[in-house]
């Protein structure tokens, strides 16, 4: 049995692994061959428009690194790692294997509920994994992007539904190159029960170049979203920022999130989290969150290192040029944006910056860079009042998702 918490746990960052027909089962025949799996030196790779991607080392997910493997290795090998005092129900730490055979719980909701019970998770938002490569690699093909995303959403609904027993909430993807198509797709998934959607936190490709989704041309879409009350999730993705790194490094490579060794420059730029900071700055600075004040945005797996620098920037610009804004941008930020910090970050400092009601817990389970034993993260909150701990561990997200924040399942 997992550690028992007195409050419900609603994990903002769980992941499914897609099966190999996720993008193709419902793809129209006119797009045959757009997405396919190919064998390269005995290994299966995914190819889009006959271009092989190394974005995910094993896109079949038949074998994967164990959940939380990086956290466990750091705890075991680093003498300076912060040590938690084990409590009843905590999973013991032991050296993880390099790979495991993926269990059924990574691929379907019925088995995942059993696993969630074992982990002590009452509810979870369930994000796709491989889907994050699609939009950037089809950036110059908007109709094809909409077709693949629709096919993925159909597969997701068939395999996972969009609300499984009011405990698992998968997130259909909404891509925005063609606004009318985005509205149609959004209305389809909401009609089927979606409580949250996945919007790529990046400029939207189009025939005249890329532009922010916070510009007025997208307002018809955002109007429908606001009226629905659906949460706008912005999970980390291939946001296209690699092209700027390529410019600086004289390279021409795709974004490879699991590449073992990058240049110091690459890591310096990456650790600045400019993409998500720019996305939130656009939502505020282009007035989207003011035109539609009931929209709620939740960046996930983007960490929180960007929050305090953005707050200082908002303060400075507003002090010098308040006429640029329709309201105090800090008011906009704290009303409209909810932050999911990485498990190793300073969550108490984040609470001081944005307030306890704007922070949500997420474990990134079952990814290797996520948490090994998710509920133990509550130890990071032990100096906060119990009500604040409960809000962060699940209450805040429950309210955003229309779920009773006091309802425990396990």
Q: In whole angstroms, what is the distance from residue 284 CA to residue 266 CA? A: 27
User: Which is nearest to 296 in space by CA: 278, 283, 308?
Assistant: 283
Q: Is residue 407 situated within a structural domain?
A: no
- Which of 245 and 292 is assigned the larger pLDDT? 292
Residue 174 lies in a domain: yes
pLDDT at 29 over 70: yes
Q: Using alpha carbons only, give the angle 269, 275, 279 rounded to the nearest 5 degrees.
A: 155
Cα distances (Å, whole numbers) of residue 140 to 144, 200, 204, 407: 9, 16, 11, 45
> What DSSP line would sit under 361-390, residue for residue?
----BTSTTS-SSGGGGGGGGTTS-HHHHH
DSSP tag of 262: -
The 10s digit of each residue's pLDDT in 155-199 is: 999 999 999 999 999 999 999 999 999 999 999 999 999 999 999
Taking residues 284-313, report their average pLDDT. Answer: 98
Examine the pLDDT at 142 and tell me if it is beyond 80: yes
Contact predicate 384/356, CB 8 Å: yes
Examine the pLDDT at 308 and tell me if it is beyond 70: yes
**57 has pLDDT over 70:** yes
The pLDDT mean for the chain works out to 95
What CATH number has the domain bearing residue 68?
3.20.20.140
Q: Is residue 127 part of a domain?
A: yes
Q: Is residue 2 domain-resident?
A: no
Tens digit of each residue's pLDDT (9 = 90 or more) over 217-249: 999 999 999 999 999 999 999 888 888 888 898
**How many domains is the chain built from?**
1
Q: Is the pLDDT of residue 90 over 90?
A: yes
| pLDDT confidence of residue 83 | 67
Domain interval for residue 264: 10-400
Q: What is the pLDDT of residues 93-119, one digit of tens each?
A: 999 999 999 999 999 999 999 999 999
Q: Specify the DSSP class assigned to residue 391.
A: I
Distance in angstroms (rounded) separating the CA atoms of residues 375 and 410: 13
How far are the Cα atoms of 154, 189, 204, 292, 294 from residue 158, in angstroms, in the given order? 6, 12, 28, 32, 30
Q: pLDDT tier at 85 (50, 70, 90 boundaries)? A: confident
Percent of the chain topping pLDDT 70 = 98
Q: What are phi and psi of 269, to 5 degrees?
A: -70, -45
Cα–Cα dist 364/343, whole Å: 9
Residue 101: CB atoms within 10 Å: 8
| pLDDT of the residue at 245 | 86
Give me the mean pLDDT over the 241-261 stretch. Answer: 81
241 is a domain residue = yes
What's the pLDDT score for residue 251?
A: 83
Token couple for 140: 């110059």
pLDDT at 262 over 90: no
Distances (CA, A) of 14 to 70, 156, 203, 288, 381: 16, 15, 25, 28, 20
pLDDT score of 79: 67
Listed in sequence order, the residues at least 6 apart from 406 whose beta carbon sits closer than 8 Å to its beta carbon are 8, 395
Of 127-141, 147-161, 165-179, 254-268, the least confident: 254-268
Question: Averaged over 282-301, what is the pLDDT?
Answer: 98
Tokens 């795709």 found at: 254
φ, ψ of residue 200 to 5 degrees: the values are -65, 125
Burial class (CB in 10 A: 0-12, 13-18, 19+), 343: buried
Mean of pLDDT values over 292-296 = 98
Residue 206 is classified by DSSP as -
Give mean pLDDT, residues 150-157.
Answer: 98
Confidence (pLDDT) at 252:
83
**Domain contains 312:** yes
pLDDT band at 80 (very low <50, low <70, confident <90, very high): low
pLDDT of 41 reads 87
- Output the six-digit token pair for 211: 């532009």
* pLDDT for res 329: 98
Residue 75 has pLDDT above 90, yes or no: no
363/346 Cα distance (integer angstroms): 15
Residue 1 lies in a domain: no
* Beta sheet of 51-53, edge-to-edge order: 35-40, 43-48, 51-53
* Mean pLDDT within 380-409: 97
Separation of alpha carbons 154 and 185, rounded Å: 10
Lowest average pLDDT, out of 83-97, 144-158, 196-210, 352-366, goes to 83-97
**Residue 167 within any structural domain of the chain:** yes
């Amino acid at each position: 049995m997992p550690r028992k918490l007195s409050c419900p746990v609603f994990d903002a960052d769980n992941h499914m692994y897609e099966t190999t027909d996720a993008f193709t089962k419902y793809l129209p025949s006119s797009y045959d061959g757009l997405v396919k799996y190919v064998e390269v030196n005995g290994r299966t790779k995914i190819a889009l428009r006959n271009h092989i991607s190394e974005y995910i080392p094993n896109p079949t997910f038949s074998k994967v690194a164990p959940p939380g493997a990086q956290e466990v290795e750091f705890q075991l090998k680093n003498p300076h790692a912060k040590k938690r005092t084990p409590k009843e129900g905590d999973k013991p730490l032991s050296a993880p294997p390099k790979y495991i055979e993926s269990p059924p719980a990574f691929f379907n909701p019925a088995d995942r509920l059993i696993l969630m019970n074992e982990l002590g998770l009452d509810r979870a938002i369930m994000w796709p994994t491989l889907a994050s490569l699609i939009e950037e690699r089809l950036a110059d093909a908007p109709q094809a992007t909409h077709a693949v995303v629709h096919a993925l959403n159909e597969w997701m609904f068939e395999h996972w539904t969009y609300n499984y027993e009011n405990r698992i909430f998968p997130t259909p993807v909404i891509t925005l190159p063609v606004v009318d198509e985005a509205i149609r797709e959004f209305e389809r998934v909401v009609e089927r029960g979606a409580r949250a959607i996945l919007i790529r936190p990046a400029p939207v490709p189009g025939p005249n170049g890329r532009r922010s989704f916070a510009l007025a041309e997208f307002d018809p879409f955002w109007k429908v979203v606001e009226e629905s009350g659906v949460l706008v999730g912005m999970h980390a993705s291939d946001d296209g920022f690699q092209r700027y790194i390529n410019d600086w490094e004289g390279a021409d490579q795709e974004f490879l999130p699991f590449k073992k060794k990058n240049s110091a420059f690459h890591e310096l730029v990456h650790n600045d989290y400019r993409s998500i900071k720019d996305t939130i700055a656009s939502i505020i600075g282009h007035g989207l969150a003011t035109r539609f004040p009931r929209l709620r945005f939740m960046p996930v797996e983007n960490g929180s290192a960007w929050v305090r620098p953005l707050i200082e920037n908002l303060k400075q610009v507003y002090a010098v040029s308040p006429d640029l804004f329709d309201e105090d941008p800090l008011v906009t930020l704290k009303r409209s944006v909810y932050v999911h910090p990485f498990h190793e970050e300073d969550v108490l400092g984040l609470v001081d910056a944005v307030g306890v009601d704007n922070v949500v817990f997420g474990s990134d389970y079952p990814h290797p860079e996520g948490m090994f034993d998710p509920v133990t993260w509550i130890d990071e909150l032990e100096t906060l009042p119990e009500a604040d701990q409960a809000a962060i561990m699940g209450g805040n997200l429950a309210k955003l998702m229309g779920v009773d924040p006091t309802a425990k399942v396990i």
